[in-house]
Amino acid sequence: MALRRVTALSIVLLAVQAQTTSSASACSTIAALHAAPSVAPGFRVQVVANGLTRPRGIQFDAAGGLLVVEQAVGITRLRLAGEGACVRVEGQGVRVVSDGSLNHGIALSRDGRTLYGSSATDVYAWNYDASQGSTTSSSRVVIGDLGDDGGHETRTLLITQNVPDMLLVSRGSLGNIDPSALNVSTGISTIKAFNMANATGSEYSYIDDGLLLGWGLRNSVGVAEDPASGAIYSVENSVDNFARNGENVHQNNPGEEMNYHGFLNGTATEQQGGNYGYPSCFAAWDVDEIPNNNGIQTGSQVAIGNQTDTVNDNLCQNDRVAPRLTFAAHMAPLDLKFNTEGTAAWVAFHGSWNRDEPIGYKLSLVQFDGNGSPIASSDSQTAAIDIVANPDMSACPGSCFRPVGLAWDSQGRLFMSSDSTGEIYVVTRDDGSGVNDVSEGPVVVAPSGTPSGRPTASPSATTTSGASQPTGSAQSKAGMNEASYWLLGAGFVGALQMV
Protein backbone atom coordinates (compact mmCIF):
# COMPACT_ATOMS: atom_id res chain seq x y z
CA MET A 1 0.00 0.00 0.00
CA ALA A 2 1.35 3.40 -0.91
CA LEU A 3 2.87 5.35 1.94
CA ARG A 4 0.41 8.20 1.43
CA ARG A 5 -2.45 5.87 2.28
CA VAL A 6 -0.97 4.43 5.44
CA THR A 7 -3.83 4.46 7.94
CA ALA A 8 -2.28 2.99 11.05
CA LEU A 9 -2.12 5.48 13.88
CA SER A 10 0.93 7.64 13.33
CA ILE A 11 2.03 9.62 16.33
CA VAL A 12 3.83 12.56 14.89
CA LEU A 13 5.11 15.80 16.25
CA LEU A 14 2.99 18.35 14.45
CA ALA A 15 3.43 22.08 14.34
CA VAL A 16 0.18 22.57 16.22
CA GLN A 17 0.72 24.92 19.10
CA ALA A 18 -0.59 23.31 22.30
CA GLN A 19 -1.32 25.04 25.58
CA THR A 20 0.72 23.71 28.50
CA THR A 21 -0.85 24.47 31.86
CA SER A 22 -1.59 22.74 35.12
CA SER A 23 -5.02 24.32 35.37
CA ALA A 24 -7.87 22.48 33.64
CA SER A 25 -9.76 25.74 33.24
CA ALA A 26 -6.96 27.74 31.66
CA CYS A 27 -7.82 29.42 28.37
CA SER A 28 -5.98 29.42 25.10
CA THR A 29 -3.51 32.27 24.79
CA ILE A 30 -2.78 31.83 21.09
CA ALA A 31 -2.95 35.14 19.28
CA ALA A 32 -4.49 35.34 15.82
CA LEU A 33 -1.88 35.27 13.06
CA HIS A 34 -3.23 38.56 11.70
CA ALA A 35 -5.44 41.18 13.31
CA ALA A 36 -7.85 39.82 15.92
CA PRO A 37 -11.30 39.26 14.39
CA SER A 38 -14.19 41.64 14.93
CA VAL A 39 -17.29 40.08 16.46
CA ALA A 40 -20.89 41.12 16.87
CA PRO A 41 -21.94 42.14 20.41
CA GLY A 42 -22.71 39.20 22.65
CA PHE A 43 -20.20 36.88 20.99
CA ARG A 44 -16.61 35.86 21.62
CA VAL A 45 -14.04 34.28 19.27
CA GLN A 46 -10.56 32.96 19.94
CA VAL A 47 -7.86 30.85 18.33
CA VAL A 48 -7.51 27.40 19.88
CA ALA A 49 -4.95 25.86 17.48
CA ASN A 50 -2.52 27.06 14.84
CA GLY A 51 0.39 25.80 12.79
CA LEU A 52 -1.85 23.49 10.73
CA THR A 53 -1.37 22.98 6.99
CA ARG A 54 -4.31 24.51 5.16
CA PRO A 55 -7.02 23.11 7.48
CA ARG A 56 -10.26 22.53 5.56
CA GLY A 57 -13.10 20.23 6.64
CA ILE A 58 -13.45 19.58 10.38
CA GLN A 59 -15.48 16.98 12.30
CA PHE A 60 -15.83 16.02 15.99
CA ASP A 61 -15.67 12.34 16.86
CA ALA A 62 -17.68 10.58 19.57
CA ALA A 63 -14.93 11.12 22.16
CA GLY A 64 -14.72 14.86 21.54
CA GLY A 65 -11.60 14.78 19.37
CA LEU A 66 -11.51 17.30 16.54
CA LEU A 67 -10.60 15.69 13.21
CA VAL A 68 -9.07 18.16 10.77
CA VAL A 69 -8.36 17.66 7.07
CA GLU A 70 -4.98 19.23 6.42
CA GLN A 71 -4.97 19.74 2.68
CA ALA A 72 -2.42 17.56 0.84
CA VAL A 73 -1.32 16.09 4.18
CA GLY A 74 -4.07 13.92 5.66
CA ILE A 75 -6.35 13.91 8.70
CA THR A 76 -5.14 15.09 12.10
CA ARG A 77 -6.87 14.64 15.47
CA LEU A 78 -6.70 17.41 18.08
CA ARG A 79 -7.56 16.67 21.71
CA LEU A 80 -9.36 19.64 23.24
CA ALA A 81 -9.92 20.50 26.86
CA GLY A 82 -11.63 23.26 28.80
CA GLU A 83 -15.10 24.55 29.49
CA GLY A 84 -16.96 27.48 28.01
CA ALA A 85 -14.72 29.91 26.17
CA CYS A 86 -11.62 28.44 27.82
CA VAL A 87 -10.64 25.92 25.17
CA ARG A 88 -7.16 24.68 24.45
CA VAL A 89 -5.40 21.82 22.64
CA GLU A 90 -3.91 19.23 24.98
CA GLY A 91 -0.63 17.70 23.89
CA GLN A 92 0.35 17.22 20.30
CA GLY A 93 -1.92 16.61 17.36
CA VAL A 94 -2.04 13.02 16.13
CA ARG A 95 -1.99 12.08 12.45
CA VAL A 96 -4.72 9.47 12.03
CA VAL A 97 -4.54 9.32 8.21
CA SER A 98 -1.49 10.18 6.13
CA ASP A 99 -2.63 10.75 2.55
CA GLY A 100 -1.51 13.65 0.43
CA SER A 101 -4.48 13.29 -1.92
CA LEU A 102 -7.02 14.28 0.76
CA ASN A 103 -8.03 17.90 0.27
CA HIS A 104 -11.30 18.83 1.95
CA GLY A 105 -14.14 16.39 2.60
CA ILE A 106 -14.63 14.56 5.90
CA ALA A 107 -17.54 12.79 7.59
CA LEU A 108 -18.26 10.16 10.25
CA SER A 109 -20.99 7.52 10.15
CA ARG A 110 -23.81 8.08 12.61
CA ASP A 111 -22.40 5.43 14.98
CA GLY A 112 -18.99 7.12 14.71
CA ARG A 113 -17.24 3.91 13.68
CA THR A 114 -16.56 4.72 10.01
CA LEU A 115 -14.47 7.69 8.91
CA TYR A 116 -14.85 9.08 5.39
CA GLY A 117 -12.48 11.35 3.49
CA SER A 118 -12.22 12.50 -0.10
CA SER A 119 -9.71 13.30 -2.79
CA ALA A 120 -10.39 14.73 -6.24
CA THR A 121 -10.90 11.21 -7.59
CA ASP A 122 -12.34 9.04 -4.81
CA VAL A 123 -14.19 8.82 -1.50
CA TYR A 124 -12.40 6.62 1.04
CA ALA A 125 -13.54 4.91 4.22
CA TRP A 126 -11.67 3.64 7.26
CA ASN A 127 -12.85 1.79 10.37
CA TYR A 128 -12.46 4.24 13.23
CA ASP A 129 -12.19 3.98 17.02
CA ALA A 130 -12.90 7.30 18.72
CA SER A 131 -11.81 6.02 22.12
CA GLN A 132 -8.34 5.43 20.72
CA GLY A 133 -8.49 8.32 18.26
CA SER A 134 -7.28 6.11 15.46
CA THR A 135 -8.27 4.19 12.38
CA THR A 136 -8.36 0.40 12.73
CA SER A 137 -8.23 -0.59 9.07
CA SER A 138 -6.58 0.35 5.85
CA SER A 139 -8.40 2.66 3.44
CA ARG A 140 -10.98 1.37 1.00
CA VAL A 141 -12.55 3.21 -1.91
CA VAL A 142 -16.34 3.44 -1.48
CA ILE A 143 -17.11 5.87 -4.32
CA GLY A 144 -15.04 6.28 -7.48
CA ASP A 145 -15.37 7.97 -10.86
CA LEU A 146 -15.23 11.44 -9.33
CA GLY A 147 -12.99 12.85 -12.01
CA ASP A 148 -9.34 13.75 -11.70
CA ASP A 149 -7.07 16.52 -10.52
CA GLY A 150 -8.32 19.64 -12.25
CA GLY A 151 -10.92 22.34 -11.91
CA HIS A 152 -12.75 22.39 -8.60
CA GLU A 153 -11.09 19.48 -6.82
CA THR A 154 -12.86 19.40 -3.45
CA ARG A 155 -15.51 16.73 -2.86
CA THR A 156 -17.63 17.76 0.13
CA LEU A 157 -19.03 14.89 2.23
CA LEU A 158 -22.06 14.80 4.53
CA ILE A 159 -23.58 11.90 6.48
CA THR A 160 -27.25 12.66 7.10
CA GLN A 161 -28.83 12.11 10.51
CA ASN A 162 -32.51 11.93 9.66
CA VAL A 163 -32.01 9.15 7.12
CA PRO A 164 -29.23 6.87 8.41
CA ASP A 165 -26.30 5.78 6.27
CA MET A 166 -26.86 8.26 3.42
CA LEU A 167 -23.60 9.86 2.32
CA LEU A 168 -23.93 13.05 0.28
CA VAL A 169 -21.14 14.01 -2.12
CA SER A 170 -20.77 17.29 -3.99
CA ARG A 171 -18.71 17.55 -7.17
CA GLY A 172 -17.93 20.87 -8.83
CA SER A 173 -17.12 21.95 -12.37
CA LEU A 174 -13.92 21.59 -14.38
CA GLY A 175 -13.60 25.32 -14.92
CA ASN A 176 -15.23 28.70 -14.56
CA ILE A 177 -17.58 28.00 -17.46
CA ASP A 178 -17.79 24.26 -18.04
CA PRO A 179 -19.90 23.08 -21.01
CA SER A 180 -19.70 19.48 -19.81
CA ALA A 181 -22.05 20.44 -16.98
CA LEU A 182 -24.80 20.77 -19.61
CA ASN A 183 -24.94 16.97 -19.67
CA VAL A 184 -26.16 15.52 -16.37
CA SER A 185 -24.75 12.10 -17.24
CA THR A 186 -21.18 13.39 -16.75
CA GLY A 187 -21.76 13.80 -13.02
CA ILE A 188 -20.10 17.23 -13.19
CA SER A 189 -21.57 20.04 -11.08
CA THR A 190 -23.90 17.73 -9.16
CA ILE A 191 -24.81 16.64 -5.65
CA LYS A 192 -25.62 12.96 -5.11
CA ALA A 193 -26.54 10.71 -2.17
CA PHE A 194 -25.31 7.14 -1.67
CA ASN A 195 -26.73 4.54 0.73
CA MET A 196 -23.68 3.18 2.52
CA ALA A 197 -25.75 0.47 4.25
CA ASN A 198 -26.39 -1.07 0.83
CA ALA A 199 -22.78 -0.89 -0.26
CA THR A 200 -21.37 -4.16 -1.52
CA GLY A 201 -17.76 -5.16 -1.82
CA SER A 202 -17.41 -3.09 -4.98
CA GLU A 203 -17.29 0.70 -4.99
CA TYR A 204 -20.06 2.96 -6.20
CA SER A 205 -19.54 4.90 -9.42
CA TYR A 206 -20.27 8.58 -8.87
CA ILE A 207 -21.22 8.94 -12.54
CA ASP A 208 -23.55 5.95 -12.75
CA ASP A 209 -24.89 5.45 -9.21
CA GLY A 210 -26.49 7.44 -6.40
CA LEU A 211 -29.59 9.57 -5.95
CA LEU A 212 -29.35 12.85 -7.85
CA LEU A 213 -30.22 15.79 -5.60
CA GLY A 214 -29.38 18.49 -8.12
CA TRP A 215 -27.30 19.36 -11.17
CA GLY A 216 -26.27 22.62 -12.82
CA LEU A 217 -24.53 23.46 -9.51
CA ARG A 218 -21.20 25.11 -10.32
CA ASN A 219 -19.38 24.38 -7.07
CA SER A 220 -21.55 23.67 -4.02
CA VAL A 221 -18.82 23.28 -1.42
CA GLY A 222 -21.11 23.71 1.60
CA VAL A 223 -23.80 21.02 2.03
CA ALA A 224 -25.93 20.58 5.15
CA GLU A 225 -29.00 18.89 6.58
CA ASP A 226 -31.51 20.82 8.67
CA PRO A 227 -31.79 18.47 11.67
CA ALA A 228 -35.31 19.61 12.56
CA SER A 229 -36.93 18.92 9.17
CA GLY A 230 -34.39 16.80 7.30
CA ALA A 231 -34.25 19.37 4.46
CA ILE A 232 -31.01 19.40 2.46
CA TYR A 233 -29.40 22.72 1.54
CA SER A 234 -26.20 23.73 -0.20
CA VAL A 235 -24.29 26.97 -0.73
CA GLU A 236 -22.96 27.68 -4.20
CA ASN A 237 -19.81 29.40 -5.43
CA SER A 238 -20.97 31.13 -8.57
CA VAL A 239 -19.19 32.17 -11.76
CA ASP A 240 -16.38 34.71 -12.13
CA ASN A 241 -16.02 37.42 -14.80
CA PHE A 242 -19.75 37.49 -15.47
CA ALA A 243 -20.82 39.34 -18.63
CA ARG A 244 -24.22 39.99 -20.16
CA ASN A 245 -25.14 41.62 -23.44
CA GLY A 246 -21.54 42.58 -24.01
CA GLU A 247 -21.11 44.28 -20.63
CA ASN A 248 -18.84 43.00 -17.88
CA VAL A 249 -20.84 43.22 -14.66
CA HIS A 250 -18.81 40.83 -12.53
CA GLN A 251 -18.05 43.17 -9.64
CA ASN A 252 -21.42 42.56 -7.99
CA ASN A 253 -22.93 39.75 -10.06
CA PRO A 254 -23.91 37.00 -10.06
CA GLY A 255 -24.79 36.30 -6.45
CA GLU A 256 -23.67 33.29 -4.46
CA GLU A 257 -26.57 30.94 -3.78
CA MET A 258 -28.26 28.97 -1.02
CA ASN A 259 -30.15 26.14 -2.72
CA TYR A 260 -32.80 23.75 -1.42
CA HIS A 261 -32.68 20.08 -2.45
CA GLY A 262 -35.69 18.49 -0.73
CA PHE A 263 -35.55 15.49 1.61
CA LEU A 264 -34.03 12.02 1.65
CA ASN A 265 -36.96 10.26 3.36
CA GLY A 266 -38.93 9.68 0.17
CA THR A 267 -40.96 12.90 0.42
CA ALA A 268 -41.39 14.17 -3.14
CA THR A 269 -40.27 17.73 -3.86
CA GLU A 270 -40.25 19.61 -7.14
CA GLN A 271 -36.67 20.76 -6.68
CA GLN A 272 -34.97 17.42 -6.02
CA GLY A 273 -32.92 16.26 -8.97
CA GLY A 274 -33.60 19.50 -10.84
CA ASN A 275 -31.36 21.70 -12.93
CA TYR A 276 -30.16 24.75 -10.97
CA GLY A 277 -28.94 26.62 -14.04
CA TYR A 278 -25.16 26.40 -14.41
CA PRO A 279 -23.52 27.05 -16.84
CA SER A 280 -26.32 29.02 -18.53
CA CYS A 281 -28.27 30.74 -15.74
CA PHE A 282 -27.17 32.63 -12.64
CA ALA A 283 -28.74 34.53 -9.73
CA ALA A 284 -28.86 38.32 -9.89
CA TRP A 285 -27.49 40.27 -6.93
CA ASP A 286 -27.04 43.93 -7.94
CA VAL A 287 -29.92 44.34 -10.40
CA ASP A 288 -29.02 47.92 -11.33
CA GLU A 289 -25.75 46.75 -12.90
CA ILE A 290 -27.41 44.13 -15.10
CA PRO A 291 -28.36 45.14 -18.67
CA ASN A 292 -31.96 44.45 -19.75
CA ASN A 293 -33.09 44.04 -16.15
CA ASN A 294 -36.82 44.55 -16.58
CA GLY A 295 -38.67 42.30 -14.14
CA ILE A 296 -35.45 41.08 -12.52
CA GLN A 297 -34.93 41.19 -8.76
CA THR A 298 -32.28 39.83 -6.41
CA GLY A 299 -32.34 36.05 -6.72
CA SER A 300 -33.87 35.99 -10.20
CA GLN A 301 -32.16 33.57 -12.56
CA VAL A 302 -30.74 35.43 -15.56
CA ALA A 303 -28.99 34.24 -18.72
CA ILE A 304 -25.29 34.74 -19.15
CA GLY A 305 -23.89 36.45 -22.27
CA ASN A 306 -26.19 37.34 -25.14
CA GLN A 307 -29.68 35.90 -24.94
CA THR A 308 -30.69 33.54 -27.73
CA ASP A 309 -33.74 31.54 -28.68
CA THR A 310 -32.49 28.64 -26.57
CA VAL A 311 -30.76 30.39 -23.65
CA ASN A 312 -32.62 33.37 -22.27
CA ASP A 313 -34.19 34.77 -19.13
CA ASN A 314 -37.46 33.00 -19.80
CA LEU A 315 -35.69 29.63 -19.75
CA CYS A 316 -33.72 30.57 -16.66
CA GLN A 317 -36.73 31.77 -14.68
CA ASN A 318 -39.20 29.07 -15.69
CA ASP A 319 -37.18 25.92 -16.36
CA ARG A 320 -34.39 26.16 -13.80
CA VAL A 321 -34.50 25.92 -10.01
CA ALA A 322 -34.01 29.34 -8.40
CA PRO A 323 -31.96 29.77 -5.22
CA ARG A 324 -33.80 29.98 -1.93
CA LEU A 325 -31.50 32.84 -0.89
CA THR A 326 -28.81 34.84 -2.67
CA PHE A 327 -25.68 36.39 -1.16
CA ALA A 328 -23.34 39.07 -2.49
CA ALA A 329 -21.11 38.07 -5.41
CA HIS A 330 -17.73 36.40 -4.84
CA MET A 331 -18.05 35.84 -1.07
CA ALA A 332 -17.27 32.11 -1.65
CA PRO A 333 -19.37 30.16 0.88
CA LEU A 334 -17.47 26.98 1.82
CA ASP A 335 -19.49 25.49 4.65
CA LEU A 336 -22.99 25.49 6.09
CA LYS A 337 -24.08 24.23 9.52
CA PHE A 338 -27.56 24.27 11.08
CA ASN A 339 -28.20 24.49 14.79
CA THR A 340 -30.05 21.64 16.50
CA GLU A 341 -33.48 23.29 16.38
CA GLY A 342 -33.22 24.26 12.72
CA THR A 343 -33.64 27.94 13.55
CA ALA A 344 -30.29 29.16 12.26
CA ALA A 345 -27.76 28.22 9.59
CA TRP A 346 -24.17 29.39 9.92
CA VAL A 347 -22.23 30.11 6.71
CA ALA A 348 -18.44 30.31 6.33
CA PHE A 349 -17.54 32.82 3.61
CA HIS A 350 -13.98 32.22 2.38
CA GLY A 351 -13.74 35.58 0.61
CA SER A 352 -13.31 37.04 -2.87
CA TRP A 353 -10.58 37.28 -5.45
CA ASN A 354 -12.55 38.35 -8.55
CA ARG A 355 -13.55 41.78 -7.27
CA ASP A 356 -11.75 45.11 -6.90
CA GLU A 357 -12.81 45.56 -3.27
CA PRO A 358 -12.54 42.41 -1.12
CA ILE A 359 -15.77 40.94 0.22
CA GLY A 360 -16.62 37.96 2.40
CA TYR A 361 -13.88 36.68 4.76
CA LYS A 362 -16.40 36.17 7.56
CA LEU A 363 -18.80 33.92 9.44
CA SER A 364 -22.48 34.80 9.15
CA LEU A 365 -25.81 33.52 10.44
CA VAL A 366 -29.07 33.02 8.52
CA GLN A 367 -32.32 32.73 10.45
CA PHE A 368 -34.58 29.72 9.73
CA ASP A 369 -38.15 29.03 10.87
CA GLY A 370 -37.56 25.63 12.47
CA ASN A 371 -39.57 23.93 9.72
CA GLY A 372 -36.95 23.80 7.00
CA SER A 373 -37.19 27.28 5.44
CA PRO A 374 -35.23 30.52 5.85
CA ILE A 375 -37.22 33.38 7.30
CA ALA A 376 -36.01 35.94 4.76
CA SER A 377 -37.70 36.21 1.39
CA SER A 378 -35.88 34.95 -1.69
CA ASP A 379 -35.15 38.51 -2.87
CA SER A 380 -33.64 39.62 0.45
CA GLN A 381 -30.21 41.23 0.58
CA THR A 382 -30.06 41.16 4.38
CA ALA A 383 -30.60 37.46 5.12
CA ALA A 384 -27.06 36.85 6.38
CA ILE A 385 -26.04 38.54 9.64
CA ASP A 386 -22.30 38.88 10.19
CA ILE A 387 -21.00 37.45 13.47
CA VAL A 388 -17.21 37.17 12.98
CA ALA A 389 -15.28 39.18 10.40
CA ASN A 390 -11.88 40.54 9.52
CA PRO A 391 -11.52 44.08 10.90
CA ASP A 392 -9.72 45.54 7.87
CA MET A 393 -11.02 44.30 4.54
CA SER A 394 -8.33 46.22 2.67
CA ALA A 395 -5.82 43.74 4.11
CA CYS A 396 -7.59 40.79 2.47
CA PRO A 397 -6.73 38.29 1.26
CA GLY A 398 -3.06 38.42 2.20
CA SER A 399 -3.41 39.33 5.87
CA CYS A 400 -6.83 37.90 6.74
CA PHE A 401 -8.24 34.71 8.17
CA ARG A 402 -10.36 32.82 5.61
CA PRO A 403 -13.17 30.64 7.01
CA VAL A 404 -13.58 27.14 5.57
CA GLY A 405 -14.97 24.34 7.76
CA LEU A 406 -17.48 24.47 10.63
CA ALA A 407 -18.25 21.94 13.35
CA TRP A 408 -20.35 21.83 16.55
CA ASP A 409 -19.00 20.28 19.73
CA SER A 410 -21.09 18.72 22.51
CA GLN A 411 -21.28 22.05 24.38
CA GLY A 412 -22.82 23.87 21.43
CA ARG A 413 -19.65 25.76 20.67
CA LEU A 414 -18.95 26.41 17.00
CA PHE A 415 -15.45 25.67 15.68
CA MET A 416 -14.15 27.16 12.43
CA SER A 417 -11.06 26.43 10.35
CA SER A 418 -9.07 29.03 8.44
CA ASP A 419 -6.92 27.51 5.71
CA SER A 420 -4.97 30.65 4.85
CA THR A 421 -3.68 31.07 8.42
CA GLY A 422 -3.54 27.43 9.57
CA GLU A 423 -5.84 28.18 12.50
CA ILE A 424 -8.86 26.76 14.30
CA TYR A 425 -11.20 29.24 16.02
CA VAL A 426 -14.00 28.71 18.52
CA VAL A 427 -17.12 30.91 18.66
CA THR A 428 -19.12 31.24 21.89
CA ARG A 429 -21.30 33.73 23.68
CA ASP A 430 -19.53 36.33 25.79
CA ASP A 431 -20.05 34.21 28.89
CA GLY A 432 -18.49 31.17 27.21
CA SER A 433 -21.73 29.29 26.65
CA GLY A 434 -22.47 27.69 23.31
CA VAL A 435 -24.16 29.36 20.35
CA ASN A 436 -26.15 26.35 19.14
CA ASP A 437 -29.37 27.90 20.47
CA VAL A 438 -28.73 31.35 18.95
CA SER A 439 -31.27 32.15 16.26
CA GLU A 440 -32.86 35.55 16.82
CA GLY A 441 -33.08 38.56 19.07
CA PRO A 442 -30.68 41.38 19.90
CA VAL A 443 -27.75 39.04 20.50
CA VAL A 444 -27.77 38.36 16.75
CA VAL A 445 -29.44 41.37 15.16
CA ALA A 446 -27.00 43.87 16.58
CA PRO A 447 -26.05 47.31 15.26
CA SER A 448 -22.65 46.06 14.13
CA GLY A 449 -23.85 42.72 12.77
CA THR A 450 -24.27 43.92 9.21
CA PRO A 451 -25.99 42.21 6.31
CA SER A 452 -23.92 40.29 3.78
CA GLY A 453 -22.63 42.40 0.94
CA ARG A 454 -22.05 45.46 3.10
CA PRO A 455 -18.93 46.48 5.02
CA THR A 456 -18.67 45.09 8.53
CA ALA A 457 -17.93 47.59 11.24
CA SER A 458 -15.40 46.84 13.96
CA PRO A 459 -17.92 46.08 16.69
CA SER A 460 -15.68 45.25 19.58
CA ALA A 461 -12.36 45.70 21.24
CA THR A 462 -10.15 42.65 21.11
CA THR A 463 -7.57 41.23 23.46
CA THR A 464 -4.03 40.39 22.48
CA SER A 465 -4.91 36.70 22.80
CA GLY A 466 -7.28 37.05 19.89
CA ALA A 467 -10.38 36.60 22.06
CA SER A 468 -12.90 39.37 21.56
CA GLN A 469 -14.48 40.81 24.67
CA PRO A 470 -18.12 41.95 24.86
CA THR A 471 -18.60 43.55 21.94
CA GLY A 472 -36.92 13.95 -8.76
CA SER A 473 -33.89 13.19 -10.97
CA ALA A 474 -35.34 13.64 -14.50
CA GLN A 475 -32.99 15.44 -16.86
CA SER A 476 -34.09 18.80 -18.27
CA LYS A 477 -33.08 19.87 -21.75
CA ALA A 478 -30.09 22.16 -21.67
CA GLY A 479 -31.25 24.27 -24.59
CA MET A 480 -27.88 24.56 -26.31
CA ASN A 481 -25.05 22.36 -27.46
CA GLU A 482 -21.41 22.49 -26.44
CA ALA A 483 -20.22 24.21 -29.58
CA SER A 484 -22.71 27.05 -29.30
CA TYR A 485 -21.89 27.45 -25.63
CA TRP A 486 -18.21 27.99 -26.31
CA LEU A 487 -19.07 30.63 -28.88
CA LEU A 488 -21.17 32.37 -26.25
CA GLY A 489 -18.62 32.16 -23.49
CA ALA A 490 -15.38 32.69 -25.38
CA GLY A 491 -15.25 36.39 -24.63
CA PHE A 492 -15.45 36.19 -20.89
CA VAL A 493 -14.28 32.85 -19.58
CA GLY A 494 -12.24 33.81 -16.53
CA ALA A 495 -9.66 32.29 -14.31
CA LEU A 496 -10.84 29.55 -11.99
CA GLN A 497 -10.79 30.31 -8.30
CA MET A 498 -9.54 27.23 -6.51
CA VAL A 499 -11.76 27.03 -3.45
Residues lower than pLDDT 50 in the chain? 1-24, 441-498
Contact 113, 128 (CB under 8 A): yes
Residue 301 CA, chain-centre distance (Å), reads: 22
List, for residues 426-473, the tens digit of each pLDDT value. 999 999 999 999 986 334 433 333 334 433 333 343 333 333 332 333
Which distant-in-sequence residues (6+ apart) come within 8 Å of 20 by Cβ?
A: none
38 half-sphere exposure, CB direction, 13 A CA radius = 20
List, for residues 120-158, the tens digit of each pLDDT value. 999 999 999 999 999 999 999 999 999 887 899 999 999
Q: What whole-number distance in Å separates Cα of residue 366 and Cα of residue 374? A: 7
Q: What whole-number distance in Å separates Cα of residue 143 and Cα of residue 123? A: 5
Break the chain into its structural domains and give their ranges: 38-429
Residue 418 φ/ψ, nearest 5 degrees: -130, 110
pTM: 0.86
Contact 196, 166 (CB under 8 A): yes
Residue-wise burial string across 87-115, b where 16 or more C-beta atoms lie within 10 A, e elsewhere: bbbeebbbbbbbbebbbbbbbbbeeeebb
pLDDT of residue 4: 37
List, for residues 28-68, the tens digit of each pLDDT value. 889 999 999 999 999 999 999 999 999 999 999 999 999 99
pLDDT of residue 23: 37
pLDDT of residue 269: 86
pLDDT of residue 26: 63
Q: What whole-number distance in Å separates Cα of residue 235 and Cα of residue 378? A: 14
- End-to-end Cα, the chain, rounded Å: 30
- The candidate with the shortest Cα–Cα distance to 406, out of 357, 442, 366, 354, is 366
Q: What is the CATH number of domain 38-429?
A: 2.120.10.30
